[in-house]
Amino acid sequence: MKIIVIGAGMVGASLTWELTQAGHSVTLLEAGEAGKGTSANSFAWINSHGKPPEAYQRLNAAGMQAHSELAARLGKAPWLNLTGCLEWRAADQQQAMQDNVEQLQQYQYPAEWISAEQLQALEPEIHLDGTQGAIGWFPSEGWIDTQQYIQLLLQASAAEGAKIVTGSRVNEILQEGNTVTGVKTSDGTLHRAELTINASGRWSDKSPYNDGLATRLAPTTGILIRVPAEYAPVSHVLATPLFHCRPDGEGVTLLCPNEGVYDIDESTPASRVSELAADIIRKATAVWPKLSELKPEQYQARMGIRALPEDGYPIVGPTEGLAGYYTVVTHSGVTLSPLLARLVTREIAGTPVAELEAYRPSRLSQPKP
C-alpha cells in the first residue's frame, strides 16, 4: 500500500520503519528536521509505573519490551540505555508510592524496595540527607537517546526503499468526498496515497488538520536542563521528589523538574525559564553539593511541550466516516513508539488490534464544552 506519514519524531520514524518492513511504500514528510520536535525535548524515560489503569500500564510495559525486541531485530540499539530507575518521594507521597509498588508487583512488573545503603552503592556520588523514606528500584527501566533512535530507523527505512522528505511541511490534506487521497506540501507538490497518517505530535490539532481530522490535545510544558556530569554524576534514571534526572550521553546529566513544580507554558519567556532552571539547580545542590559551583554559562535549559491528548491517553486509529486517514498521537511516545508502530502496521494489514480499542479518536470527538 502507498502510505504517507506526516511527522518524523519518535512516532513517525517508528511507523516508517515498521510499515516499510511490512512491504508498504512509505513517504515520510517532515516540516523541519527529523527528530527535532518534542522528541528532542523529552526526558525519554522508558517506564511503566504510575500509569493507571491496568490496560495502560500493560501497554507501556509492552512498549518497553518492544524496545528490546526492536534491538534484537536490528542487531544493535545504541539508543537503548537500560540503566534501571531509582525512586523516592516526599513524605506526603509515601502511601501513594507504597500503593504503586504493590500494584506493580501484582502485575509482575519488576519493582522492589531497596535500602539507602543499596542506593548509595548504585549511586555513590549522590548525597542523601536521611529524609528520603522508602526507595523503589525498577530494574527494567531506562532511557532512550531519541536522536540516535530516529536517525538510525530512518536510515534503515531509506535503505529499504522509504522516501524521507525533510523541510517539507504538509499544508493541505487532500480529500475526495469521504476519502483522504493524499497531501499537498509547502513547495506545492501533491503526494497521493491510499493511507495518510497523522504522526504530527503536538501539531496534530493545528492546520492543516481541520475539524474532522484534528486531535484533541491539552499540552503541558516541561523544563529540561543539561549540566556537565562532573557536577551531578548519575548512572541510572532517578525520580526524586523535586526532579527527575539521568545521564544524557557522554559527560552530561539531564535534569527535569517534576510536572507541577513550576507553572509554565509555551508563552513563558526564555529569561523566566533560565530563572527556574537556576532555582532547580540550587535545590539540587542538596543531592550534589558540587552543583553550587556551577556557573550559568555551563548549563542549558530549554522547554519541551507534551503532545498530551485531552484525557492523557494515546489517540490511535482511523477517523469514523473517513477512509484513507489514520492518527497516531500520544504522550509517553518514547516508551510506546515501537509497540504502537507494530500494532498499527498489523491493523493496517486488516487485523483489528484489541489493545488499541480504548484509544480510538472517536472517544474525544464530542464538541468542546
Ligand X SMILES: Cc1cc2nc3c(=O)[nH]c(=O)nc-3n(C[C@H](O)[C@H](O)[C@H](O)COP(=O)(O)OP(=O)(O)OC[C@H]3O[C@@H](n4cnc5c(N)ncnc54)[C@H](O)[C@@H]3O)c2cc1C
Q: Please give the residue ranges that form the binding site for ligand X (CB under 6 A).
A: 6-12, 29-32, 36-39, 41-45, 169-170, 199-203, 208, 222, 224, 256, 304-307, 329-335
CB of 250 to ligand X, least distance (A): 20
What does the DSSP 8-state code read for residue 217? Answer: B
Sign of the alpha-carbon torsion through 171, 177, 179, 181: negative
Closest to ligand X by CB, 11 or 344:
11
Task: Give the residue at shortest CB distance from ligand X.
Answer: 9
CB of 15 to ligand X, least distance (A): 9
Closest to ligand X by CB, 34 or 101:
34
Closest to ligand X by CB, 116 or 322:
322
Closest to ligand X by CB, 20 or 330:
330
DSSP of 41-71:
S---EE--SS--SHHHHHHHHHHHHHHHHHH
Q: Which three cell numbers stand for residue 302?
A: 530549554
Q: Which three cell numbers stand for residue 294?
A: 556551577
CB of 257 to ligand X, least distance (A): 9
CB of 270 to ligand X, least distance (A): 16
CB of 39 to ligand X, least distance (A): 3
Amino acid at 11: V
Neighbours of 293 (CB within 10 A): 10
Query: To which residue does cell 556520588 refer?
Result: 125
CB of 336 to ligand X, least distance (A): 7
Instruction: Give residue 306's Cα distance to chain centre.
Output: 8
Instruction: Kindly report each contact of residues 91-97 with a partner whose C-beta sits within 8 Å and lies 24 or more positions away, as own/partner.
Output: 91/131, 91/133, 93/241, 94/133, 94/134, 97/133, 97/134, 97/136
Measured distance CA(232)–CA(240) in Å, rounded: 14
Residue 122: what are its φ and ψ, rounded to 5°? -80, -35
CB of 193 to ligand X, least distance (A): 14
Output the CA–CA distances (angstroms, integers) from residue 36 to 31, 42, 104, in the order listed: 10, 10, 33
Closest to ligand X by CB, 38 or 253:
38
Measured distance CA(151)–CA(267) in Å, rounded: 30
| 141, 46 Cβ separation under 8 angstroms | yes
Closest to ligand X by CB, 214 or 229:
214
Closest to ligand X by CB, 226 or 230:
226
CB of 314 to ligand X, least distance (A): 9
Closest to ligand X by CB, 32 or 289:
32
